[in-house]
Amino acid sequence: MWPVTVLGVAIGGALGALSRYGLTLLLEGGTQNSSLKDFPLATLLINVLGSFLLAVVVTLLQGGVLSPAWRIALGTGFLGAFTTFSTFALDTDLLLSRGDSLKALIYVSGNLILGFLAIGLGRALTLNLFLKG
């Protein structure tokens, strides 16, 4: 079963990455001459669509329509490459649905704050270590 799972993640991941790229090109091309030109509309729409699709996959799994192997191929593979925001949104929703509001707040805040700090640190290290001078 393990090789099939890995293959499912690999194929799903490749298709998810290609879908994200194609949709980004399509959406950016459509906003090139508009006021949305400098707004990351493609990323926003992909993240929202990915969240919706992950909810569909998980609900189908819970309803017995999808097998765990399909959940891994579609959820981890396809949607993992399409957007990781969907997983972030689902994790937050699961915490909230269990009544863990404080954990959800910490999780959301941690992702945002630590994510921005990691961006700044990565940029600073790269500029100082690799792009000096």
Domain-wise residue ranges, the chain: 2-82
User: What pTM was estimated for this model as a whole?
Assistant: 0.77
- Counting beta carbons within 10 angstroms of the beta carbon of residue 32, is it exposed (0 to 12), middle (13 to 18) or buried (19 or more)? exposed
For 24-53, how does the pLDDT look when each residue is reduced to its tens digit (9 = 90+)? 999 888 777 888 777 778 888 998 999 999
Pick from 7, 20, 93, 18: nearest CA to 55: 93
Distance between CA atoms of residues 110 and 113, nearest Å:
5
Alpha carbon of residue 67 to chain centroid: 21
Distance CA 87, CA 84 (A): 5
* pLDDT digit string, tens, across residues 69-99: 999 999 999 999 999 788 889 899 999 999 9
